[in-house]
Amino acid sequence: MLGRFLTVGYYALINYEEVSPSPDQYSDSIDWYDIDDLPPLMMDHNQIVVKALEVLRNNLSEKLIGMNLLPHKFTMKQLQLVFEAILGQTLRRTSFQRKMLSLDVLERHEKLFQGKAHKAPYLYSFK
């Protein structure tokens, strides 16, 4: 026996508040961790996480990422917060909105009135 391992990694975008992880027979524990505060992982698994995040960030502009992370109708701010969380950086509101609208993947709906003094935001959904 050579003692080699083959690891296959998958990533999924989920609302972690709706999922309760539990360890299987091969795991001592399981928990959610901030991407910038991961505990030490065995073998090359830190590199696998880094690569998965790189792939996710590179695909961000090509895929409708966030569809299952947002309600059916959402504000542009909610969408921006998803992108900022994935990218790990703050985006300029006007540039982000212009970019998202230019992709022609959003459908605009009625405004969301919350009874506040500021201008009510439009709601959007993915086409």
Structure-model confidence comparison of residues 2 and 36, the more confident one? 36
- Range 101-127 average pLDDT: 81
- Looking up residue 68, the CATH number of its domain turns out to be 1.10.10.10
Span 31-72, pLDDT tens digits: 888 888 998 888 888 999 999 999 888 887 667 677 778 888
Number of helices (H), then strands (E), in the chain: 3, 3
Give how many domains the chain has, as a whole number. 1
Domain interval for residue 91: 16-126
Interhelix angle 93-102/76-87, nearest 10 degrees: 100
pTM of the model: 0.75
Domain annotation covers residue 78 = yes
Does 10 map to a domain?
A: no
The answer to whether residue 120 is domain-embedded is yes
